[in-house]
């Protein structure tokens, strides 16, 4: 395949009318920031970037040094470009306005600067997840409420995995595409175009240690997978759990599979573990554009009307058939009550 850089790909998408100049420039700025985060994560202990930052975030979680560093890199890179009206992050309670000395743009950027925090210090893949929305017309000082748009209104979404290779996966609503960072050249190069997730799979990802807290339909569904070919599904299933959503989703984007972070008794009061605006919605957009499905176990994630910037939701995503079966078990159980 002729090597196509991200910039070339974005120019093609502009010519096709899928993105406008401002949005494609914004993607370039985010990609450049992620290259800097890749350098920081790759340094590990030699860069003094491991360990706790000694501060906490809005979620009440202890921040890792790399959480703070990645957040700063993305804020700094996106402050002066002129494509953004404001941005919001997992690491900040409120949206960050664009400083008055810089021109403002028409887009809102949401991100999880470093997903998979529990894996940072143990050298397991982590990543950055982002979602791009249109800033409502006439709004010059965006507040949290201006970000609360359903996932179906996303203009673009992507994630970058900082693993053995640094890989970015991107969608503008016209397919899902993968780019691999060529470290020598310093450019993201198109490595897979129009990715398709197989509808069927024999691989599931869930944190099994939460099993006793799950709802009955989830107990039933996972019980049937574990029963394998001697059970009602008459097929053996394998399990994987990296505990970095970006890495678990990238495996699914690469070879199929299904990922669950369901509601359970421990997190019911919070509404779930994963955040809607900068984890679930962007991943749902990417997965749906690759032929997969993404629900809360009861409804389509991208159809939800958000109620809070840091709102949490249950997440079922991946190969369509398994997401449909697991969702059906929940809807059926609710109907029987």
Site for ligand FBP, rule CB under 6 A = 90, 112, 115-118, 207, 243-245
CB of 276 within 8 A of CB of 220? no
Residue 118 Cβ vs ligand FBP, minimum distance, rounded to whole Å: 5
Of 134 and 240, nearer to ligand FBP (C-beta) is 240
Of 112 and 178, nearer to ligand FBP (C-beta) is 112
Residue 136 Cβ vs ligand FBP, minimum distance, rounded to whole Å: 27
Residue 184 Cβ vs ligand FBP, minimum distance, rounded to whole Å: 30
CA atoms of 72 and 146, how far apart (whole Å): 22
Of 89 and 171, nearer to ligand FBP (C-beta) is 89
Of 190 and 249, nearer to ligand FBP (C-beta) is 249
Residues making up the annotated binding site for substrate are 115-118, 207, 273
CA atoms of 96 and 106, how far apart (whole Å): 15
Of 113 and 142, nearer to ligand FBP (C-beta) is 113
Report the candidate in 36, 49, 41, 117 with the shortest Cα–Cα distance to residue 77.
36
Residue 298 Cβ vs ligand FBP, minimum distance, rounded to whole Å: 20
Residue 123 Cβ vs ligand FBP, minimum distance, rounded to whole Å: 15
Residue 221 Cβ vs ligand FBP, minimum distance, rounded to whole Å: 18
Half-sphere exposure of 136 (CA within 13 A, CB side): 10
Residue 273 Cβ vs ligand FBP, minimum distance, rounded to whole Å: 6
Of 116 and 256, nearer to ligand FBP (C-beta) is 116
3-state SS of the chain is CCCCEHHHHHHHHHHCCCCCHHHHHHHHHHHHHHHHHHHHHHHHHHHCCCCEEEEECCCCCEEEHHHHHHHHHHHHHHHCCCCEEEEEECCCCCCEECCCCCCCCCEEEEEEEEECHHHHHHCCCEEEEEEEEECCCCCCCCCHHHHCCCHHHCCEEEEEEECCCEEEEEECCCCEEEEEEECCCCEEEEEECCCCCCCCCCEEECCHHHHHHECHHHHHHHHHHHHHHHCCCCCCCEECCCCCHHHHHHHHHHHCCEEEECCECCCHHHCCCEEHHHHHHHHHHHHHHCCCEEECCCCEHHHCCCCCCCCEECEEEECHHHHHHHHHHHHHHHHHC
Residues making up the annotated binding site for Mg(2+) are 90, 112, 114-115, 279
Q: Say which residue the tokens 């340094």 belong to.
A: 43
Residue 144 Cβ vs ligand FBP, minimum distance, rounded to whole Å: 19
Of 112 and 224, nearer to ligand FBP (C-beta) is 112
Of 109 and 245, nearer to ligand FBP (C-beta) is 245
Residues making up the annotated binding site are 90, 112, 114-118, 207, 273, 279
The residues, any chain, with a CB within 8 Å of residue 63's CB and separated by 6 or more, are 52, 53, 55, 56, 57, 91
């Amino acid at each position: 395949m002729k090597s196509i850089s991200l910039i070339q790909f974005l120019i093609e998408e502009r010519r096709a009318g899928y993105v406008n100049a401002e949005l494609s420039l914004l993607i370039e700025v985010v990609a450049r920031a992620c290259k800097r985060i890749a350098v920081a994560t790759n340094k590990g202990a030699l860069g003094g970037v491991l360990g706790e930052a000694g501060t906490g975030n809005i979620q009440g979680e202890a921040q890792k040094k790399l959480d703070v560093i990645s957040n700063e890199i993305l804020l700094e890179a996106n402050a002066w470009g002129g494509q953004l009206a404001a941005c919001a992050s997992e690491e900040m309670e409120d949206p960050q306005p664009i400083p008055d000395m810089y021109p403002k743009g028409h887009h809102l950027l949401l991100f999880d600067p470093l997903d998979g925090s529990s894996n940072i210090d143990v050298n397991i893949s982590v990543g950055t997840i982002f979602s791009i929305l249109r800033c409502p017309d006439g709004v010059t000082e965006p507040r949290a409420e201006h970000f609360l748009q359903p996932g179906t209104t996303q203009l673009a979404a992507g994630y970058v995995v900082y693993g053995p290779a640094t890989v970015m996966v991107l969608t503008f609503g016209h397919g899902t595409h993968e780019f691999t960072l060529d470290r020598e050249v310093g450019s993201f190069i198109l490595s897979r175009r129009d990715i398709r997730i197989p509808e069927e799979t024999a691989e599931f990802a869930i944190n099994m240690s939460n099993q006793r807290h799950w709802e009955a339909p989830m107990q039933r569904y996972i019980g049937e997978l574990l029963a394998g070919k001697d059970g009602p599904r008459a097929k053996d299933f394998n399990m994987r759990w990296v505990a970095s959503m970006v890495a678990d989703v990238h495996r699914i984007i690469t070879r199929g599979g299904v990922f669950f972070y369901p509601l359970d008794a421990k997190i019911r009061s919070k509404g779930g573990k994963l955040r809607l605006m900068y984890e679930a919605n962007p991943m749902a957009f990417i997965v749906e554009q690759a032929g997969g499905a993404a629900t809360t176990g009861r409804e389509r994630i991208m159809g939800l009307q958000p109620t809070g910037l840091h709102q949490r939701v249950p997440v079922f995503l991946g190969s369509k058939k398994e997401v449909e079966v697991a969702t059906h078990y929940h809807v059926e159980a609710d109907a029987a009550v």
